[in-house]
Homo-oligomer: A and B are copies of this chain.
Amino acid sequence: MKSAKKDLLGIEELSTDEIGFILDTADSMKEISLRDIKKVPTLRGKTVVHFFHEPSTRTKTSFEIAAKRLSADAVSISASTSSIVKGETLIDTARNLEAMNPDVVVIRHQASGSAQMIANRIRASVINAGDGMHAHPTQALLDMMTVREKKKTLSGLKIVIAGDIAHSRVARSNIIGFTRMGSDVVVAGPPTMIPMDIESVGATVTYSIEDAARKADVIMILRIQKERMDDFLFPSNREYASFFGLTHKAVSKARKNVVIMHPGPINRGVEIPPEIADGSRSVILDQVENGVAVRMAVLYLLIGGSRHASDN
């Protein structure tokens, strides 16, 4: 990756070997965050621009901390303070940022394809931190890192992803990533929330989370987005939870040492009961911790090596 790729836009562009190499690198990076002095000079003098068009605590903070622990200079732009409010197009904003000679632009944007569009037009590396319903590759990488940490392998595992699959960039990136690494992915959710062509990317479809959970090694429950609940006419949180939330019964059908995941932020008592979120099988906070490590690895692999110096 270090000598080959300019950007990280989606999991589909990564080979099995490349994913494995990123996860190995992230394992080493994780150790840095556990030191007393959590900082290495690796990216000193590099400029990372965080360009976030949607509210985000964990992803934005995770990237900022990752950049700073590698000694990069981090600059943040949010939509509300940017020239976007003056009517500038996204491409013009990106080209203007580019002119300031950043090494990486990390972008989150509500439009699917926005990260690709920008990556095509600027020389700097682009990391997709979530574009519409399309992709969120660092989330998939941190999820794979977390599962690999607990299960020692990704190959042959049964991974259940449950919830609003159709509108979730997290689901889409994870289905592609886990499938590529040899896992069997089963998606579960109400029919309106399962996209028509999902089996073509290698996932099996069920409409019952309890059926899906049978002998699962991992259950990843997605966040229900409240603003979308209105569209689907759920009369209440309680109804959603009882039909499509994670239940104790579902967990009981999984393997004994099943790993429970959630990309956060969680709606306690809606898609996940608090005692499961906080229980011993939950790795939700490991996911967050590994997020910093994965972002350090991606930043390092994209701009820390010799590619930039020679090719760019």
Contact = CB atoms under 8 A, between A and B. Distances in A.
B65 A96 contact: no
A56 interface: yes
Interface in A73-98: 73, 75, 77-78, 80-89, 92-93, 95-98
Interface string A247-270: 000000000000000001111100
Nearest to A35: B45
B81 A55 contact: yes
A188 to B, nearest CB: 23
A27 interface: no
Interface stretch (A18-26, A36-44, A207-215): A36-44
Interface stretch (A151-159, A177-185, A284-292): A284-292
A46 B57 contact: no
A172 interface: no
B101 A33 contact: yes
A196 interface: no
Nearest to A68: B73
Contact of A55 (B73, B82, B286, B288): B82
A152 B238 CA distance: 63
Contact of A36 (B83, B100, B309): B309
Contacts of A144: none
Interface of A: 33-39, 44-47, 49, 52, 55-58, 60-62, 64-65, 68-69, 73, 75, 77-78, 80-89, 92-93, 95-103, 226, 264-268, 285-286, 288-289, 291-292, 308-309
Given A37-B46, A55-B85, 20 more contacts: A33-B101, A34-B101, A36-B45, A36-B309, A38-B45, A38-B46, A47-B69, A55-B83, A56-B83, A57-B77, A65-B73, A65-B100, A68-B73, A83-B264, A83-B265, A87-B226, A87-B265, A89-B268, A99-B285, A100-B291
